Amino acid sequence: MASIVETAQQPYIKNIEWHMMDKTKFFPLSMLSSFTVRCALYPLTLIKTRLQIQKHNNMYSGMFDAYGKILRYEGFSGLYRGFWISSVQIFSGVFYVSTYEGVRHVLAQKDVDTRIRALVAGGAASIVGQTIIVPFDILSQHMMMMGIPPVKGAKLELNPLGIREDLTKGKFAMTTEVMRQILRTDGLSGFYRGYTASLCAYVPNSALWWAFYQFYQDELYRLLPSWVSHLLIQTIAGTFGGFTTTIITNPLDVVRARLQVQRMASMKLAFRELWQEEKFRMFSKGLSARLIQSATFSFSIILGYETIKRVSVNDEYKAYVRW
């Protein structure tokens, strides 16, 4: 059911629904947008992961310190370790978006409230996305840990597989070596290590993000004059949603990263060790990088996603779409 808002001039569509779009335009443009955003923001993902994995601050004292040291010791390419593996997420993104929009469409037919619709659809989409992407996520995170120069007191905590970068080998060869080491160490199950933790971290994150996005969007529509750009309202709502969700779910994301990279036995053990190491600082570990990443990612993704929906909308709805 289309959500149409009446204005003094003419009615317009508040949310462009799945059935209103030309999928032959939407999917390729969506993948291109997702790749561009992930490429631009990948260094923040790498820095966030390293900050989460380190114990205390024995390698980096914060986001800017990590950025400076990576550039100094590893060069610009160090900020993109594991990127080509991580970029596979653009394909899982197709399944993610299809699931999200599909579930929203089904719930809309049952007249479910828009915020509940967004919450349920966001959670369902994350389950599908994580099931596809976890093995690639694990590989990319191990690749992120390679190339770190020896630092007194840091030992090999950031690189538990013990694999060192070999500059004579290409990216594919090094990735294959990481895969072999995971198989030797953990077997096939190693590629789904931390899968439950990923679901516990990302399903609530995705569900809450879409719910807060809808909530902030509705509130901004109510508070701001009708002439304010619809797309601007959506990007602001996405940014606020990213901030709120990141603060709530940060400890779960730290536990997920540690389970996958440090190969801990369980979430309970990871939580206990994290609490023993950091106490209440566990809630802010890697948070600055994650907040900046989340806010920038949310703004960029919504800007691209909602723009592409407008470009892909079928002709009969174009007159009712506001920018």
Q: In angstroms, what CA-CA distances link 301 with 7, 29, 134, 251?
A: 27, 12, 21, 23
Q: Which residues of 15-25 are buried (b: 16+ CB within 10 A; e: fewer)?
A: bbbbebbeeee
Q: What is the per-residue pLDDT for 260?
A: 64
Number of CB atoms found within 10 A of residue 280's CB? 7
- Locate the domains of the chain by residue range: 3-320
Dist. CA 34–CA 16, nearest whole Å:
19
| H-assigned helices in the chain | 23-53, 63-74, 83-86, 89-109, 114-144, 171-186, 195-223, 230-262, 267-278, 287-312
pLDDT digits (tens, 9 = 90+) for 59-118: 787 788 888 888 888 888 888 888 888 777 777 778 888 898 889 888 888 888 888 888
Residue 263 has which token pair? 């190969």
Q: Which two tokens stand for residue 146?
A: 């390679």
- Residue 210: both structure tokens together: 């879409």
pLDDT above 50 (res 7): no
The answer on pLDDT for 1 being more than 50 is: no
For 46-95, the DSSP string reads HHHHHHHHSSTTSS-SSHHHHHHHHHHHH-GGGGGTTHHHHTTHHHHHHH
Over pLDDT 90: what percentage of the chain?
5
| pLDDT reported for residue 216 | 92
pLDDT for position 237? 92
Query: Which is nearest to 201 in space by CA: 271, 149, 300?
Result: 271
pLDDT tens, residue by residue, 114-146: 888 889 999 999 898 888 888 888 788 777 777
Mean pLDDT over residues 221-245, rounded?
A: 88
Instruction: Tell me which fold the domain 3-320 belongs to.
Output: Mitochondrial carrier fold (1.50.40)
Q: Please compute the mean of the pLDDT values over residues 209-225 and round it to a whole number.
A: 89
Q: Sort strands 12-15 and 3-5 into parallel, antiparallel or unpaired.
A: antiparallel
Query: What does pTM read for this prediction?
Result: 0.67
* Tokens 């909530």, located at residue: 215
What's the distance, Cα to Cα, between the start and end of the chain in Å? 20
pLDDT of residue 164 exceeding 80:
no
- Kindly list the distances between the CA atom of residue 205 and the CA atoms of 100, 120, 143, 212, in Å, as whole numbers in the listed order: 14, 12, 24, 10
* One-letter amino acid of 242: G
pLDDT above 70 coverage of the chain, percent: 81
Q: Which residue has the higher pLDDT, 165 or 186?
A: 186
Q: Which amino acid is at 130?
A: Q
C-alpha–C-alpha distance, residues 127 and 99, integer Å: 10
